Each structure stands twice: as C-alpha cells, then as structure tokens.
Amino acid sequence: MTRHIIHTDQAPRAIGTYSQAVRVGETVYLSGQIPLVPETMELVEGDMEAQIRRVFDNLRAVARAANGRLADVVKLNVFLTDLGHFPLVNQVMAEYFEEPYPARAAIGVAALPKGAEVEMDAVMVLDD
C-alpha cells in the first residue's frame, strides 16, 4: 500500500524526524501533538485546560488535513506528566468527541518535549 504524508500549517510543524500524520489505505496515524501554537511554535499560554484544548485543536487540524474529523478517531493515547489531570482531560474531551468514543489509553510519563504537560496521538479510520 502507498503511504501518503499529511501536512497542514494549521497544526505545529514536526519538531523532529516525523510527519504530522501518515495515511495508509483508510487508516491515518496522527503523530503526537503537544500544546504548541502553530504560528509561534511556542507552548500555549494558560493553565492545563488551555494545554489540553490546544492539543485537541492540533489533532483536529491534522485530522481535517487528512479529510477526516475527530469522530473518525478509533484510538487515542494520552500522555500526562501528572495523572491527576486525567479528570480534566475527560471533561475537555467530552466537548471534542461524541459517543461512541474512541478506545483510549492514559499514560503517566516523567517528561514531554518542550516541557509540555500533555501529549496525545491518535489512529483514525476514514470511510471510503
């Protein structure tokens, strides 16, 4: 199968040796997003809720660039430097997703790039 690289200026550019997303067939693998503002490539200002929203906004932008939407996400991985923020992730996620929700994992990590407190990646499956 052919791999199609997905890119959008509406989400942060890759800060390493990876693509924002890769589509193979009807499956799109969205790379991890931290709460970077695309225009400045700096962490969003504000509290943890602002960081979580920025990550979802970045994922949504990449999903759209792949001709999808967050409703097409079948698997979401959430990485947090403090698992105490998980209830806030649930609260904000409910504003971005509807049932049926994607499968999900929440992983506590020691550190994330650029000092971010949250990162998420996703797998999306598109309809023909």
Q: What is the pLDDT of residue 121?
A: 98
Q: What is the pLDDT of residue 69?
A: 98
Locate tokens 């990876």: which residue?
Answer: 18
Could you report the average pLDDT of every consecutive run of 10 residues in the chain (128 residues)? 95 96 98 98 98 98 98 98 98 97 98 98 92
**CA distances from residue 63 to 5, 20, 115 in whole angstroms, order as listed:** 12, 10, 25
Identify whether 12 is preceded by a cis peptide bond (ω within 30 of 0): no
Q: What is the pTM of this model?
A: 0.97
For 26-40, b where at least 16 C-beta lie within 10 A, e where not — what string? eebbbbbbbbbeeee
Q: What is the pLDDT of residue 65?
A: 98
Rounded Cα distance between 2 and 15, Å, is 24
Query: What are the contacts of 42-45 at 24+ separation with CB within 8 A?
Result: 43/114, 43/115, 43/116
Q: What is the pLDDT of residue 128?
A: 64
Q: What is the pLDDT of residue 56?
A: 98
